[in-house]
Amino acid sequence: MKSKYPKKFIEYLDKKINPIDYIDLVIYRDSNDYDTLKSKLLHTRKDCFSEKDFYIVNYGDTDYYLPGCSYGILLYNFIKTLQEVDISLNRMIIITNQPNLLDQIKKIIPKDKHTWELPLILDLISIQSSNTLYTTYEDIPINTNVKRHAISMMGIPRVHRTALYNFIDKNNLKEKIAVSFRN
């Protein structure tokens, strides 16, 4: 999973923390094999964590939601697995593109744990935007060799995706821009 992120970001993390392990939750969503995750966590768990010890967890917005449930099944199973092996959520750095992930987590864990037991959540889009971790976006190199304009807006409906699709549709731009939106 380390290779999913820009090299400079991984180097930055390695200077600031002690990464215990890198966990890609998509693997467990696809395989539904939480026993393997449990084994991995038991193998890497420490009796006493230092303040710099963290697991780095990749969690995208490709979770499954039951009707009327405000948190994903993968997230729920991950948290329950952590509880089973007695590893606190505050030892996790979760890299995600979910804007409301912390709210989802708070609905799964007891309220008395909301002060000390929450993970650190990093915005995936900011991390993956470039290999150089730009401080300004003015000098980001852009490849202008475009063969065909295209947009893929996968995942759950979001306001910005719907607005962009409606704009393309309303202005008859589907002939010029290939669009994939909600199948």
- 92 phi and psi angles, rounded to 5 deg: -110, 135
The pLDDT value recorded for residue 134 is: 44
Query: Strand 120-123 relative to strand 149-153: parallel, antiparallel, unpaired?
Result: unpaired
Question: Is pLDDT above 80 for 150?
Answer: no
Which pLDDT does position 133 carry in this prediction?
47
**Mean pLDDT of all residues in 6-23:** 87
Pair 78, 105: CB distance under 8 Å? no
**What does the pLDDT read at residue 130?**
42
Over residues 150-158, mean pLDDT: 63
21-37 pLDDT, tens digit each: 999 988 887 778 899 99
pLDDT of residue 131: 46
Rounded CA-CA distance 134/143 in Å is 17
Q: Where are the beta strands (DSSP E) in 2-142?
A: 18-24, 53-59, 92-96, 120-123
Rounded to whole angstroms, how far apart are CA atoms 63 and 55? 20
Name the more confident of 111 and 168.
Answer: 111
Q: Give the lowest-confidence range in 75-84, 145-154, 174-183.
A: 145-154
**pLDDT score, position 174:** 79
Asked whether the predicted pLDDT for residue 151 surpasses 90, the reply is no
pLDDT in tens, 91-146: 999 988 887 889 999 999 999 999 888 999 887 665 554 444 444 445 556 666 76
Helix 73-85 / helix 34-44 crossing angle, nearest 10 deg: 40
pTM: 0.68
Query: What average pLDDT does the structure give for the chain?
Result: 81
C-alpha to C-alpha distance for 23 and 56, rounded to whole angstroms? 6
Checking if the pLDDT of 17 tops 90, the result is yes
